[in-house]
Amino acid sequence: MSRRLVLSTLFVVAIVGGYLTYRSMRSSGARSVQVMRWFRDSDSHADWEILQGTRCGDAPFILPTDGIIGYLWDDSFRPGHRHQGLDIFGGKELGETPVIAAYEGYLRRLPDWTSSVIMRVPSDPLEPGRQIWLYYTHMADADGNSFIDDAFPRGTSEVLIPAGTLLGYQGNYSGDPFNPTGIHLHFSIVLDDGNGTFLNELEIKNTLDPTPYLGMALNAKVNQDGIPTCNE
């Protein structure tokens, strides 16, 4: 292969790669603008807000918190990144926006979990017999002061929790007190490893598209730039 052909091929690959990166990040960029608009003037965008406990249509899950769903499953914030769940921004101060269980399940809080709980659902309502897990995180402040309800101390295991149970409140914990997240809830649906525990939530291949579980367009590939609501 000639040098010219090699350079031409590399140029085409770079262009295609750049285009795909642009496409993958465009939707999250558009939503970022909408999130900022909502924070600046939430009253003018009240139609974007979801309310905890709401069931959209005949979806099996209820909404786990108040706010706007700023980032969706499979959104991208940087090249190579694929978001594994939903980021829901309440728009209030730390520890003020309640987080509730979206579905009945058995709650666990590992001994080293500051801001997170996970719930085991023995039978997926959309695929009966398959076990799934519901993960809720960022329920603490930047310094690690937890906003998880006192009913679920570190080390809690296999406590049956009905849908709608208070789990805690939205926070901004990231593990680094000098680089907190925005105040929000991150919620994801995680696959079981086949041996009775959950897979690594940090990899999108281990999570499920929450769209059919919550009855809204929550997949970034489908919903390119909109803030999803029950009324869409």
> Per-residue pLDDT tens for 84-111?
999 999 989 999 999 999 999 999 999 9
pLDDT of residue 225: 76
- Among 174, 178, 172, 84, smallest CA distance to 133 is for 84
Domains of the chain: 3-214 (2.70.70.10)
Percent of all residues in the chain with a pLDDT value above 70, rounded to a whole number: 85
Buried b (16+ CB within 10 A) or exposed e, 160-198: ebebebebbbbbbbbeeeeebbebbbbbbbbbbeeeeeb
- Among 134, 199, 136, 143, smallest CA distance to 169 is for 136
pLDDT of residue 27: 55
The 3-state DSSP class for residue 99 equals strand
> Per-residue pLDDT tens for 107-128?
999 999 999 999 999 999 999 9
pLDDT of residue 33: 85
> Per-residue pLDDT tens for 35-89?
888 888 878 788 899 999 999 999 999 999 999 999 999 987 666 678 999 999 9
The 3-state DSSP class for residue 212 equals helix
